[in-house]
Structure 1
Amino acid sequence: MIKSKVLLVGDGAREHAIAEALSRSVNEPRISALVNHINPGIRRIVESTGGSLVIGPLNQEGVVKAINVINPDLVVIGPEEPQFAGVADKAVEMGVPTFGALSRLARIEQSKAFARWLMWRYRIPGRIAYRAFRSVEEAIEYVKNAGSVAIKPARQSGGKGVRVFWVNQAYLRDGVNDAKETQLIDAANDVLKYGDVEDLIIVEETVSGVEYTVQVITDGVNILPLPPIQDHPHAFDGDIGPECGGMGSVAGPGARLPFLRDDEYWESVNIVKSTINALQRETGLRYVGVLSGQFMLTSYGPTLIEYYSRLGDPEALNALALLRGDFLELIEAAVEGRLPSFNYSFSNEVTVAKAIAPLGYPHRRDLAAGRRISIDFNGIKKLGCGLYFGSVEYVNGEYRTLGSRAVEILATGSSYSEAHAKAEECISLVKSSDWKLIHRVDVGEPSLMERRIRDAELVREVYRWRRSHGLGRVRIDWVPGRDVAVYDYS
């Protein structure tokens, strides 16, 4: 059944891209949106399709208001926080077909402790050793003698708050332990402000390698894997600086990445598929929407770093640009449990997405907010790039930043050289008269991709040798004063 009235929940660049993809449907849907702030790009699409813009909180109260105003045939949820807040649950309760995870299913992203527990309970490949803590003091005592560890908030916090500590020199131990303690306190405080999960801190074994994202659309039984994409979570060139919501992503050519082999991609897809099955078995609920795995190719092989219960941002831009097929019909097929009936293909192009943010992002958003930006729309269109509004509002005839990633540029090409050059030229057409704008120049550079290829080949040699010799299947974790933990990876 064709859904003529669609309610989109969310107001970021990802939702702008989703709205644009939906608007291209041959079925000419009327697109409405529930937004917390008025995204200029979403507003334009809503107005051009004859929909309505509802301003309100992205929670159950807000979606009830929007459904009563719009009476939609379909709800599409973009961001994670509305999923955590039970927006999909409320929409389904009101009888509206919904594309987006129910709150108990979205817990796979909301709680990192639950995600790790689920992987070990159902012996899902790609898992790593971890400890979850509800007490900062207990975590501090643990990490003092734990050596190299990754310390994370135990809740999704917008891609922020993760720090990895490598302990290779004994003389640096005291300084590293002080830094670990600071990170543990910061991570716990980050989680406490939400107040919706029990565990505060996750301490994981350290892994290194090349990261990539695999996004899978599911109807609860069948899956449609999207092309692998590489996100760039660090704020600055060279993969340095704080981790943030993502400063850019690359994909292609076509449904592949140059550093990732086909068998590694499909192994990753199967990990996500196994997770969907485990979630449904654990909760008794049907998963309709997107489950994404952020992976790292390590000395174990494809290794799961974390899950997203939705399309990534900015990864959604790459995926939707490569998809050849009616996106509205794809969502309908997922909601109605007939995903195999959807006809699709992927373009053979390379896609490069880059975020532009005001200086101060991600940690000093107070400084990054309220800055003017100007955009040469005609120039960007002439160059063939897409522009997607994120944390921006249009007030009194000018665009003003709200403190996060302001806009995202999407460029396509037959090669990374072409797509990168096009993206950089388009970025030069986004300016600020009163503040510095930042972006990562190196995202999409051929030299960076060549480095990724070399790094992937190094870990590939290690994990293939280990697998061929039956090594790396058991890890014994012993910290003085604590019980021995045995992790069986087989």
Structure 2
Amino acid sequence: MKVLLVGSGGREHALAVLMARSGLEPRIAVVSDKRNPGLAEAAERTGGRLYTGKPTSPADVARTAEEWSPDLVVIGPEEPLFAGVADALRERGFTVYGPGAAQARIEKDKAYARELMWRHRIPGRLRYRVFTDPREAAEYARAAGDVAVKPARQAGGRGVRVFAEPMEHLGSAVREAAAGYAERLAERIRESYSDIEHAVIVEERVEGVEYTVMAVTDGSTVVPLPAIQDHPHLFTWDLGPETGGMGAVSGPGTTPSFLEPGEYRETVEILEKTVEAIRADTGEPYRGTLSGQMMLTSLWGPTVIEYYARFGDPETANLVHMVESDFLELLDRAASGRLAGYRLEVAEDTYVVTIALAPAGYPNNRSIARGHPVAVDRGAVEREGCSLLYAGVDEGPGGLVSTGSRLVEIACPSTRGYEDAAARAQRAASAVRLLDGHPLVWRRDIGSRSHIEARVRLAERVRKAYLRRRERGETRVYDWIPGRGLLVYDYG
């Protein structure tokens, strides 16, 4: 079976590894804007080819598809989806795994996603306001109290800030900080993007345990994958700037230790209702991945923080050691509308810990994280029983060079628990270095006993609170809007 994979990062390398195991004997070609050594090797090993092209260009990808003539095209990142690459390929008769631009709006436009949830009464929704005018955004953020301020457009996971008032005497300072940030963010988004209506979304702030559930769908049937917890912050104990993801934990089976099976099922139901709502809105079946970045909150239990229209990164790395089914068959059946009756098999006794390594400077100063020579002892990683996935590296005549993002992801499985998997990952990290002495950054706490136990304790506190609210039938929340007065939000 001939496959064309679109993308160039760690997620795409993980997808290539998963698909290469298929009994469909895949030949995997890749269209990428750099020479990712993992993707180049996967293409060579399967009898495919690495094409140089711009993944976000419908013309480049369509031209490559016409030359390679694939049975299936798999689109990895979000920006090609936003740019209409899937639409251009389908217009030419190709079978594509990945939603069209109208459906990928669920990720691209966060204001649309929230509006869709309220209009279709999808559980797990938050109250919110959207703004285009920076001054209006500032005025609302100043009055709203505890809020999360986000770019209304997907911006690679960057730009989100949370403002809380921990003590009464700090309230005015926090509100002024939120107002100033909302105003600056609105100005920046208006300057950077012209493909959405609004600039900023201000949401109610919630606390709890975050997790991601990715699901494969053909628009009718939804096949959920195991719940995985991403770790977006750069530094230990969830401190520092938000990144694309510094690691992830999952297992055993579909539900990690901090999540109850019923909460996982509720999350899947949210994704199923969302797939139905998107089809009702667009008139077309959603064929691809729909992911819910979730939080278990004291207000509503499983709550949607945002949606992804693709597989997460680094969450996809964990799937390398979790999924036992034929992954290529799963994607092919979804792309061609034949997912009914498919049964996903996952490793029920396996824990997985993934860590990402990045050059110092990532994510806020990528110019100093770029251009460093990279050395990787792949054998040392494999001797720990782990998988090495290349991400922000480019292979040139002189060897591997950093591109300014996360270099590699190291995914480690264990049947003995998170701690054992985490220890393997930390030992494997020593196999990666920058030859010019520039420092590497990675987290040492992901999968540790103290970190997992803290998640479990937080989930238990949150669970008691939201179950108590449900028992009492508390479904209303109130908001004060400057110039409009009191608004009532009914979640029932």
Q: Does 1:391 align with 2:392?
A: yes
- Alignment of 1:417 onto 2:419: yes
Q: Is the 8 A contact 1:157 1:190 kept in 2?
A: no
How far is 1:213 from its partner?
0.5
CA distance in 2, matches of 1:379, 1:235: 25
Q: Is the 2:3–2:70 contact (alpha carbons within 8 Å) kept by the matching residues of 1? A: yes
For 1:66-77, list aligned pairs within 5 A. 66-77=64-75
1:32 correspondence with 2:29 = yes
What is the TM-score when the length of structure 1 is the normalising length? Answer: 0.97
Cα deviation, residue 172, structure 1: 2.6
Aligned CA RMSD, in angstroms, stands at 1.3
Are 2:212 and 2:293, in contact at CA under 8 Å, matched by a contact in 1?
Answer: yes
| Corresponding residue for residue 444 of structure 1 | 447
Deviates more, 1:179-188 or 1:442-451: 179-188
Indicate which of 462, 465, 470 corresponds to 2:468.
Answer: 465
Distance apart, 1:191 and its partner CA: 5.5
Of residues 432, 435, 449, the one that matches 2:434 is: 432
Q: Deviations over 1:289-341 (max 9, x none)?
A: 11000111111211110000011001111123211111111111112222134
Q: Is the 1:358–1:438 contact (alpha carbons within 8 Å) kept by the matching residues of 2?
A: yes
How far did residue 399 of structure 1 move?
A: 1.4
Q: Is the 8 A contact 1:333 1:341 kept in 2?
A: no
Provide structure 2 residue ranges, at least 5 long, that are not aligned to the other structure: none
- Describe the SS at the equivalent of 1:38: coil
Change (3 A) 1:389 1:127: same
Structure 1: 5+ residue runs without aligned partners?
A: none
How far has the Cα of 1:187 moved from its partner?
Answer: 2.5
Measured against aligned partners, the alpha-carbon deviations of 1:451-472 in whole angstroms (never above 9, x if no partner) come to 100000001011111100111x
2:127 alignment counterpart: 129
Could you tell me whether the CA contact under 8 Å between 1:192 and 1:200 is conserved in 2? no
Name the SS for the 1:34 alignment partner.
strand
After TM superposition, list the pairs within 5 Å mapping 1:60-459 onto structure 2: 60-188=58-186, 189-190=188-189, 192-299=191-298, 300-347=300-347, 348-414=349-415, 415-433=417-435, 434-459=437-462
Residue 48 of structure 2 is matched in structure 1 by: 51
1:14 equivalenced with 2:16 (yes/no): no
How far apart are the structure 2 equivalents of 1:192 and 1:219?
Answer: 36
C-alpha separation between the residues in 2 aligned to 1:275 and 1:171? 41
Aligned amino acid, residue 31 of structure 2: L
Q: Confirm or deny: 8 A CA contact 1:211 1:230 kept in the other structure.
A: yes
Report if aligned partners of 1:368, 1:403 keep a CA contact under 8 Å in 2.
Answer: yes
2-structure distance, mates of 1:309, 1:320: 20
Q: Which amino acid aligns with 2:419?
A: S
**TM-score (structure 2 length as normaliser):** 0.96
For 1:485, the equivalent position in structure 2 comes to 487
Deviation sequence 1:7-34 (CA, Å, 0-9, x none): 1000000000101111111221111111
Contact 2:13 2:389 (8 Å CA) reproduced: yes
In the alignment, residue 47 of structure 1 is paired with which amino acid?
E
Distance 1:475 1:153, change over 3 A: same
Whole-angstrom CA distance in 2 between matches of 1:191 and 1:295: 27
- Tell me which amino acid in the other structure corresponds to 2:386: C
Stretch deviating more after TM superposition (186-195 or 83-92): 186-195
Counterpart Cα distance in 1 of 2:406 and 2:180: 27
Amino acid at match of 1:372: P
Count how many residue pairs are aligned between Structure 1 and Structure 2.
Answer: 486
